[in-house]
Structure 1
Amino acid sequence: MAAPFIMMTRRADFVAANAGLRVARPGFVLLARGNQGQGRRLGITVTKKIGNAVVRNRMKRRFRALAREVLPLHGLADTDHVLIGRDGGVERDYALLRDELVAALTRAQAGKGDLPRPRRGKRK
């Protein structure tokens, strides 16, 4: 059986997705951006702030399992989906994470993203 998505590995793809729609949930942040016909793609990012390598890899495995289950039904066609792990996401109930991902994808489908994050750095 073919995978329901293609994994993103290039940094440029992640940077481009960061300019797209952002939907924040307690366990993760979803970024979604159209990719001009390259299919349904998935990228996963979990930073060192979340925990050690064991914790980060566990969270990535949970995200891949969620994506295999949810993206074929609710994912956006020809779109890059990036899941960014948030603190506490690894302890969240799997069913709750699945419901949050479905809700986030529904919001992204409707074009309803969250407000842009404030820029970091010095104010002028």
Structure 2
Amino acid sequence: MKPAVLTRRSDFLAANRGLRVSRPGFVLLARPNDGAGLRFGITVTKRIGNAVVRNRMKRRFRALLRDLLPLHGLADTDHVMIGREGGVERDFALLQAELLAALGRAKDGKGDPPRKGPGKGRGAKR
């Protein structure tokens, strides 16, 4: 089954309250979605680089997720990949191995604790 793509901001914000697994090239967020099926989203901020760099990173992440999620993803879960500095230069096979490890940790329920929402100890809002 082909995973669906997250498009609504509320889905991305909900995923941010879920399980978080950090890797050198990306951060994987995973949160159950109450039976909406296997879904994924990708976020790359302007801090990573210009539009060309961000789009290249998103294309690589999309290819990774389309290859690995149907086999290794968590059922009825939203998966969000957040690009990190240096993720675009990483070897594709290395990113693949890191994503497999991150999905395995998410399946085991192991990960960093969920982050606090905006304005809760991370500085003033702009």
Scaled to the shorter chain, the TM-score interval is: over 0.9
Q: Secondary structure at the match of 1:38?
A: coil
Q: Does 1:93 align with 2:95?
A: no
Partner residue, 1:121: 123
Deviation per CA, 1:5-53, whole angstroms, max 9, x where unpaired?
A: 0000100000000000000000000000000000000000000000000
Counterparts of 1:115 and 1:76 in 2: how far apart (Å)? 18
Counterparts of 1:121 and 1:83 in 2: how far apart (Å)? 24
Q: Tell me, which stretches of 5 or more residues in structure 2 are unaligned?
A: none
Matches within 5 A, 1:1-124: 4-117=2-115, 119-121=121-123
Counterparts of 2:108 and 2:55 in 1: how far apart (Å)? 31
Counterparts of 1:75 and 1:83 in 2: how far apart (Å)? 13
Counterparts of 2:63 and 2:52 in 1: how far apart (Å)? 17
Q: Is the contact made by 2:18 and 2:114 (CA closer than 8 Å) also made in structure 1? A: no
Runs of 4+ aligned residues of structure 1 deviating over 4 Å after TM superposition are none
Counterparts of 1:76 and 1:26 in 2: how far apart (Å)? 21
Q: Is the contact made by 2:17 and 2:114 (CA closer than 8 Å) also made in structure 1? A: no
Counterparts of 1:82 and 1:52 in 2: how far apart (Å)? 21
Question: What one-letter code is carried by the residue in structure 2 that aligns with 1:120?
Answer: R
Q: Tell me, which stretches of 5 or more residues in structure 1 are unaligned?
A: none
- What count of residue pairs does the alignment treat as equivalent? 120
Identity %: 73
Q: Is the contact made by 2:19 and 2:113 (CA closer than 8 Å) also made in structure 1? A: no
| Shift, 1:121, TM fit | 2.2
Q: Secondary structure at the match of 1:26?
A: coil
Counterparts of 2:71 and 2:97 in 1: how far apart (Å)? 13
Q: Secondary structure at the match of 1:96?
A: helix
| Shift, 1:68, TM fit | 1.0
Q: Secondary structure at the match of 1:39?
A: coil
